[in-house]
Homo-oligomer: A and B are copies of this chain.
Amino acid sequence: MIANTPKTPYYAVIFTSFRTDDDAAGYSEMAEKMVEMGSKMKGFLGIESARNEVGITVSYWETLEDIRNWKQVSEHQSAQLEGRNKWYSAYKTRICKVERDYGFEKL
């Protein structure tokens, strides 16, 4: 799905990552749980995700405060810690203001 975001401005978190070879099942379970929890947070607008060697997950939010709030949720903090300990060999998180957007859909 392409996230059905509102009119700009809104915010995006681009999370780019490389996985270790460890614990694929635990990772999948946690990833699913975090999407489920995150998408219930105030200000959540949508999420897009793809992985080949590199994984890219972009989540969209109404405000920077919504992003901060989600980052602080204790289950999410535990997941981040476990991510660094087990599941990711490297990642980068980028907090962005979406200033303009446009799209196309074939009819």
Contacts and interface: CB of A to CB of B under 8 A. Distances in A.
Given A20-B106, A84-B104, A91 B2 contact: yes
A88 B99 CA distance: 24
A14 B16 contact: no
A64 B96 CA distance: 14
B58 A54 contact: no
Contacts of A3: 16, 92
A90 B102 contact: no
A18 interface: yes
A100 B14 CA distance: 11
B98 A103 contact: no
A97 B94 contact: no
Contacts of A58: 14, 16, 56, 58
Interface of A: 1-3, 5, 12, 14, 16-18, 20, 48-52, 54-56, 58, 64, 84, 88-106
